[in-house]
Amino acid sequence: MATRSDPLYMQLAASLRAKIEGGEYPPGSRLPSERKLMELYDASRNTVRLGLQRLVAEGLVFPSQGRAYMVHRQDVLVYNSSRSEDHERRLSAGVDAWVQDIREQGRMPSQRISVSIESATADIAQRLDMQPEELVLVRRRLRFVDEQPWSTEDSYYPHELVKNTPVAEPADIPEGVIAYLSSLGHKQTRYVDDVTALMPNPQQANELAVEAGVPLLVRTRVGYTEERPVRVTVTTMPTDRNVLRYELGTGESNV
């Protein structure tokens, strides 16, 4: 809480913060213009901008077009990473775990699937124990919640492993890719997750409608059979609308 001894921009930020938390400026609403804030707080433009930048740094607001500032949304959803590949859950629900998770949270999920054949990058090749530039098949999903872009999931497979199979088609596989590969003798027995954060590049910001200043949460999962890695899945989620959850201690594998 700001006091009278604090700089004016911190007092202004504290006042606006209180109004946001009190509901005067609810999530998704627009703050008054810089000129209006200058009048309301009898402050200079520089003071107003410093106060707004303080709120941006706290993740409460973000700048939009026309120099307006918007209050961040608070509609956070849970992505349960532990059960995201639970075969039994998929069979009982008839859809993949992400779709079921979103439905259970009272929202409407959808996804757009595309497939391509590409040369493996150095990172993907290393994770798949391949040589760089070897071919991989990539299944990309752009996921939507209530028709709004929400997250992406890109899965990389050795091309020789999945060519001429349903995995190479841009459509959902009823039993799931993991179960399908298991039926071909490539049963995944474990996975390893790396979770990092980064700022979106322009393409990601546009594709996911990421607000300024919001980083992405990136989960890179490598799926292994007893013999080798067979899949790398990179899931990208804006941090202002997703929680990545792990449930530990069950003693069971969800792969």
CA distances from 37 to 1, 24, 44, 54, 81 (A): 19, 15, 9, 15, 43
3-state SS, residue 94: coil
Please give the average pLDDT of every successive group of 10 residues along the chain, which has 255 residues.
73 95 88 94 94 87 76 80 74 71 88 96 97 96 89 97 95 88 93 96 90 89 96 95 84 44
Tell me whether the CATH fold assigned to 8-71 matches the one assigned to 77-245. Answer: no
Which residue ranges make up each domain of the chain? Answer: 8-71, 77-245
* pLDDT on residue 212: 73
Least Cα distance to 175 among 95, 254, 109 occurs for: 95
How far is C-alpha 74 from the geometric centre of its chain's CA atoms? 15
* pLDDT on residue 104: 87
DSSP 2-63: --TTS-HHHHHHHHHHHHHHTTSS-TTPBPPPHHHHHHHHT--HHHHHHHHHHHHHTTSEEE
100 membership: H or E segment, kind and range: helix 97-104
Report d(CA 74, CA 171) in Å as an integer: 32
Arch. (CATH architecture) of 77-245: 3-Layer(aba) Sandwich (3.40)
Question: What is the CATH T-level fold of the domain 8-71, as seen in this structure?
Answer: Arc Repressor Mutant, subunit A (1.10.10)
Tokens of 7: 């700089």
